[in-house]
A and B are shown apart, each in its own frame.
Chain A
Amino acid sequence: DAGITQSPRHKVTETGTPVTLRCHQTENHRYMYWYRQDPGHGLRLIHYSYGVKDTDKGEVSDGYSVSRSKTEDFLLTLESATSSQTSVYFCAISEPLTRGGETQYFGPGTRLLVL
């Protein structure tokens, strides 16, 4: 399962409050990703990281920030949560394939409800 855990697994919060989601990996992968999954939109990339303190924006980064102060942890922060950020959030890592190239493996997800 690529050693990925996400916390919390479920969260209910109110509009305007800050929220931080954590992704933890145990296998020293360099690349880590945050996605959100919504009905009708599929999986969309929010931010990604290619090393400690190295991050970049994805397709839907507005309203989100990330931090990676150590290899194993990638944090996603909603500075002021809005109802449009109600979603399921997935963390992923890249892992090389035996025959070349890489693929991404996903964590179990965090279900976030913003009231």
Chain B
Amino acid sequence: EDQVTQSPEALRLQEGESSSLNCSYTVSGLRGLFWYRQDPGKGPEFLFTLYSAGEEKEKERLKATLTKKESFLHITAPKPEDSATYLCAVTFNAGNMLTFGGGTRLMVKP
């Protein structure tokens, strides 16, 4: 069964304390891996798409990487405004359908 698993479920960091979130997937025919940010009471906000192993994308303090089995979202020197739930999703084979992981809730304390 195709699955997307995110870890940890929750992560507390001090401001400036760098860390990584993990998204592992067991799908055949990966077409794309997507990272979203979701703030409470809002819809997911698109961050990155990765298509092939070895690919990397960066945006401000965030950097996403992709291997054949997992993706990491690295957060460098986070700030309290980076607090949110980060969602990972994949598309596979010929479809546009997104399969989501359960998310990682990140809390950055000043």
Contacts and interface: CB of A to CB of B under 8 A. Distances in A.
Contact of A42 (B32, B34, B51, B100): B100
A58 B97 contact: yes
B49 A101 contact: yes
A42 B96 contact: no
Nearest to A102: B96
A109 B102 contact: no
A-side interface size class: 20 to 34
Given A40-B102, A43-B87, A45-B97, A105 B51 contact: no
Nearest to B98: A104
A103 B91 CA distance: 10
Interface string A74-115: 000000000000000010101001001111111111000000
The A interface, classified by DSSP as helix, strand, loop or mixed, is: strand
Interface in A41-72: 41-45, 48, 58
Contacts of B32: 101, 103
Contacts of B42: 108-109
Contacts of B98: 43, 45, 104
B-side interface size class: 20 to 34
B44 interface: yes
Contacts of B100: 42-44
Contacts of B49: 97, 101, 103
A105 B46 contact: yes
B97 A90 contact: no
Interface string B91-103: 0000011101111
Interface of A: 31, 40-45, 48, 58, 90, 92, 94, 97, 100-109
Of all A-B residue pairs in the complex, the 6 with the closest CB atoms, nearest first, are: A106-B43, A43-B100, A42-B102, A42-B100, A106-B44, A108-B43
